[in-house]
Copies of this chain bind each other. A is one copy, B any other.
Amino acid sequence: MSKKVIDETHNEENLLCPIRYTIDIVGGKWKLPIICMLASGLPIRYSTIKRKLTGVTNMMLAQSLKELEASGIVHREQYNEVPPRVEYTLTEKGKSILPPLVKLAEWGTDHMQEDKTGATFCATCKSMK
């Protein structure tokens, strides 16, 4: 979810565009990998996500998860144990965004190969297909 101030003069023209609404939800550096990782449907712990997302900081991961939760894409389940455990899953809304993303992935796969032959693909995204 973009924090940018809505410019009223462009609001109706661009920012309420349903495509941009969708891209805003999955935009940013880490949200797409997170969604891909949760695409299996199984709940995944915070620490597991952090470990598999090479290079992500606690700061960025927590923020991305919070924004995805605010968008209704992921569900956060907190267990009051010691040590604490928090698991994330895709909501129904989150699952429903996968087919459109797969369309994007298919188009990307087709046309990446035209440009740079032999490109390797993100393992998590491949798992969506």
Contact = CB atoms under 8 A, between A and B. Distances in A.
Interface of A: 7, 9-10, 12-14, 16-23, 26-27, 29, 32-33, 54-55, 72, 93, 96-97, 99-101, 103-109, 111-112, 114-115, 119-125
A22 B101 CA distance: 10
Contact of A18 (B14, B16, B93, B125): B125
A41 B22 CA distance: 24
A100 B104 contact: yes
A29 B97 CA distance: 22
Given A16-B120, A100-B103, 18 more contacts: A13-B33, A14-B32, A14-B122, A17-B105, A17-B108, A17-B124, A18-B104, A19-B26, A19-B104, A19-B122, A21-B111, A23-B26, A23-B27, A27-B27, A96-B111, A99-B103, A100-B106, A103-B103
A14 to B, nearest CB: 6
